[in-house]
Amino acid sequence: MKDKGYEIKGETFGEGALKYIAFRPYGKDRYVRGRASTLGPEYTKEKILERIREKAELLLSETPAHSHEYNTKSLHDYLRSYESRKRPINEMVNNTKIPTTLIDTSGEKFAKSIGLSKWADKENFKRFAAIYAELGNLGLQSPEALENRIRELREQAHTEKRTVINLEREIKEFKMIFINADSFLKNKKYAEEYNNVKNKDKYYRSHYEHLDLYWGSAAYLKNSGIDTKTLDMKKLQDHYRKLIADKNTLSESYPAKEAECQRLKEMRDSYNQFLYGPDSSKPVLQRHKDKDISL
Q: How far apart are CA 156 and CA 162, in angstroms?
A: 10
Q: How confident is the model at residue 166 (pLDDT cuts 50, 70, 90)?
A: very high
Mean pLDDT along residues 28-32: 84
Q: Is residue 290 part of a domain?
A: no
Where among 137, 156, 174 does a domain terminate? 137
Q: Is residue 209 part of a domain?
A: yes
- Helix, strand, coil % in the chain, rounded to nearest 5: 70, 5, 25
Q: How confident is the model at residue 61 (pLDDT cuts 50, 70, 90)?
A: low
**Residue 205 Cα distances to 24, 148, 208, 213, angstroms:** 102, 69, 6, 14
Q: Is residue 142 part of a domain?
A: no
Q: What is the pLDDT of residues 237-271, one digit of tens each?
A: 898 899 999 999 999 999 999 998 998 998 888 88
Query: In this predicted structure, what is the pLDDT of residue 114?
Result: 83
**Residue 103 Cα distances to 59, 122, 280, angstroms:** 8, 10, 15
**Statement to judge: residues 118 and 107 lie in one domain:** yes
> Residue 207 belongs to what domain range?
148-280
Find the helix packing angle between 188-196 and 200-223, rounded to 10°: 130
Of 84-98, 174-188, 215-229, 242-256, the least confident: 84-98
Mean pLDDT along residues 119-132: 86
Where among 137, 169, 202 does a domain terminate? 137
Sign of the C-alpha dihedral computed for residues 150, 153, 158 and 159 taken in this order = positive
Q: How far apart are CA 195 and CA 193, in angstroms?
A: 5
Q: Does the pTM of the predicted model rise above 0.85?
A: no
Q: Is residue 91 part of a domain?
A: yes
**Statement to judge: residues 183 and 273 lie in one domain:** yes
Q: How confident is the model at residue 125 (pLDDT cuts 50, 70, 90)?
A: confident
